């Protein structure tokens, strides 16, 4: 007589099943152990130690696929630790100890070398994709100054830390408090306007135009005309004029801001 959901247990069959499962387990366990011995991947202790000290932001600013890729490149000596922005100086020092190399680097911040934006006139009306990369394809962008910020926000879109925004004057603006100096914006800006400067820097040049003074005047109300007054009045001789632009040597700059006061175009700015 049979009832639903009730079956008699055949003890012999039970033992056969148990024995079979046990046998298969043992055989495959042996195979897995064998394969794992044969295919053991040598774990690089250096690499994992480096990765523990990295910020783990995976921002890609260093140019590698992520922090683990960067750690691998570091361990192999292919990468430079200073190309990582987010990692704290303390941890970088630890990594340098792991790698057995000397380390000295100051924290950095990014700066946009342009103050044109709305002060710079347009050469044509642009309707289309916002992206600077797209806009710059059409005759180098809509701005009359071929060096200046287009204001399309490619850097803003690529910043992993929300440190960038387009300011009221139509130029990309960096929030120093949020910037981790990862360098992604430096690479993405089609006009190469963004640069990493020492965190202690007090002033920066807000123009990248290498044109002669008259051409700058025609295109932009706030561009540098390369007059050289800043270089002349700098008490530390920290400024030289190259390609109609002042270049600041931050190791010499004392932060007196004489240049800021003297600049007739107000294109040397304080942070």
Task: Give the relative orientation of helices 89-99 and 67-75 as an angle to the nearest 10 degrees.
Answer: 40
To another protein, the closest distance from the beta carbon of 41 in angstroms equals 5
Residues 6+ apart with CB under 8 A from 102: 96
Give, as ranges, the residues between 31 and 60 that touch another protein (CB under 8 A). 31-32, 35-36, 38-41
CB 172 within 8 A of CB 112: yes
Give, as ranges, the residues between 2 and 21 that touch another protein (CB under 8 A). 13, 16-17, 20-21
How many amino acids of this chain bind another protein (CB under 8 A)? 16
CB 104 within 8 A of CB 92: no
Upper half-sphere CA count for residue 237 (Cβ side, 13 Å):
0
Q: Which stretch binds another protein (CB under 8 A): 24-32, 51-59, 145-153, 171-179?
A: 24-32
| Beta carbon nearer to another protein, 69 or 215 | 69
To another protein, the closest distance from the beta carbon of 7 in angstroms equals 11
CB atoms within 10 A of CB 213: 15
CB atoms within 10 A of CB 122: 12
| Beta carbon nearer to another protein, 66 or 153 | 66
Give, as ranges, the residues between 244 and 263 that touch another protein (CB under 8 A). none
**Is beta strand 203-205 parallel, antiparallel or unpaired with respect to 194-198?**
unpaired
Cα–Cα distance measured from residue 203 to residue 226, given in angstroms and rounded to the nearest whole number: 17
Nearest in space to 117 (alpha carbons), one of 81, 153, 65: 153
To another protein, the closest distance from the beta carbon of 173 in angstroms equals 30
| Beta carbon nearer to another protein, 1 or 39 | 39
**Is beta strand 268-270 parallel, antiparallel or unpaired with respect to 108-112?**
unpaired
| Beta carbon nearer to another protein, 33 or 217 | 33
| Beta carbon nearer to another protein, 56 or 228 | 56
- Any contact of residue 28 with another protein (CB under 8 A)? yes
To another protein, the closest distance from the beta carbon of 51 in angstroms equals 15
- Interface with another protein (CB under 8 A): 13, 16-17, 20-21, 24-25, 28, 31-32, 35-36, 38-41
């Amino acid at each position: 007589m049979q009832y639903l959901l009730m079956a008699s247990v055949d003890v012999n069959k039970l033992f056969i099943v148990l024995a079979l499962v046990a046998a298969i387990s043992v055989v495959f366990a042996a195979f897995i152990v064998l394969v794992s011995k044969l295919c053991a991947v040598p774990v690089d202790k250096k690499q994992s130690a480096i990765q523990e000290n990295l910020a783990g932001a995976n921002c890609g600013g260093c140019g590698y696929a992520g922090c683990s890729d960067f750690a691998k490149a570091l361990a192999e000596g292919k990468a430079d630790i200073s190309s990582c922005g987010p990692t704290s100086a303390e941890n970088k020092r630890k990594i340098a100890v792991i790698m057995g190399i000397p380390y000295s680097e100051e924290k950095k911040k990014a700066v946009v070398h342009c103050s044109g934006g709305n002060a710079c006139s347009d050469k044509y009306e642009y309707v289309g994709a916002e992206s600077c990369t797209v806009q710059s394809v059409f005759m180098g962008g809509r701005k009359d100054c071929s060096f200046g910020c287009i204001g399309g926000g490619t850097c803003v879109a690529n910043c992993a830390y929300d440190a960038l925004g387009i300011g009221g004057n139509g130029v990309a603006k960096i929030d120093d408090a949020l910037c981790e100096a990862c360098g992604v914006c430096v690479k993405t800006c089609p006009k190469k306007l963004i640069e990493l400067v020492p965190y202690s820097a007090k002033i920066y040049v807000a123009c990248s135009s290498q044109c002669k003074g008259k051409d700058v005047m025609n295109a932009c109300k706030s561009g540098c005309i390369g007059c050289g007054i800043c270089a002349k009045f700098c008490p530390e001789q920290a400024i030289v004029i190259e390609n109609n632009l002042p270049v600041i040597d931050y190791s010499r700059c004392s932060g007196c801001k004489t240049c800021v006061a003297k600049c007739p175009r107000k294109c040397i700015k304080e942070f």
